[in-house]
Amino acid sequence: MAPTLRVRALLRWLGQHELGSLLAISAVSLGTWVFVEVADAVGEGGTQNLDRKLLLSLRTAGDLSDPIGPGWLEEVGRDLTALGGVAGLCLLTIAVVGHLLLAHKPRAAAFVAASVTGALLLSLGLKRFFNRPRPDLVPHMSEVLTSSFPSGHSMLSAAVYLTLGALLARLQASLVLKAYILLWALFLAFLIGASRVYVGVHWPSDVLAGWAAGASWAALCWLLARALQRRGEVESANHSAPTEPHAPENAPKP
């Protein structure tokens, strides 16, 4: 085999087997480390000054009730933050689970439902544990019911969009399409997290911790799904639904 063909074969093998797992393990490790570091800094009050500066920088000087930018940007901020709400993410998850059930992939559907439910429970548990008060520097542009750390919208949007993005990316043969889907999932999670600071309901450190926790959860779920697929316990992306046998063309008609 020529050297060029050997290199291509090696890259293809890495792309199909080890590279994805290595990236996912790195994402879990990095996300966990970032979350722990941010949580430790928040607990010691080390993020307070930077949090205040960043939050106030998004408000008009002299009128903290007015976010920077034109009126339409405020509406965009509220629209973006709604994309990470529990209701919207649950509806999206139900739609995906329904699609998987109709495609005769019940175990994959159950795995997606369990992944999203686990992310929601983890978010609520972390909020209850840290119990950080919401920002009180500026008026809130969105109703809030839970504590501040970590940002539930940021965590859940990262977990759900990245998990579903990874599921959709596995259906694509092209690396460009895979990257396109995952980059859009990351971009959506970024916009939703940033909107939480813009509407005044989260400190920036809440959002950073939420992104880290959500990305870690999504990568962990990807690794688990891959392992279960290899063992045949969860349907793979190219799993085909059973088809009904066709009668021979020359079969006698009743």
1-21: pLDDT as tens digits: 555 666 566 556 555 556 677
Contact 111, 170 (CB under 8 A): no
For 141-190, the pLDDT digits (tens) are 888 888 999 999 999 999 999 988 888 887 777 888 888 999 999 999 99
Q: How many residues does the chain have?
A: 254
Contact 182, 161 (CB under 8 A): no
Query: Using CA atoms, how far apart are residues 76 and 34, in angstroms rounded to an integer?
Result: 29
Q: What is the 3 state secondary structure string of 152-175? A: HHHHHHHHHHHHHHHHHHCCCCCH
> Is 17 among the residues known to form the active site?
no
Where exactly are the structural domains of the chain? 73-233
Percent of the residues in the chain that have a pLDDT greater than 70, as a whole number: 85
Contact 132, 44 (CB under 8 A): no
Q: What would the mean pLDDT of 186-214 be, rounded to a whole number?
A: 95
Q: What would the mean pLDDT of 43-64 be, rounded to a whole number?
A: 91
> Is 99 among the residues known to form the active site?
no
pLDDT at 254 (0 to 100) = 45
Of the listed ranges 71-80, 168-177, 219-228, the one predicted with least confidence: 168-177
Choosing from 17, 153, 239, 246, the catalytic residue is 153
Choosing from 104, 140, 202, 239, the catalytic residue is 202
pTM of the model: 0.83
- CA-nearest of 157, 236, 227 to 189 is 157
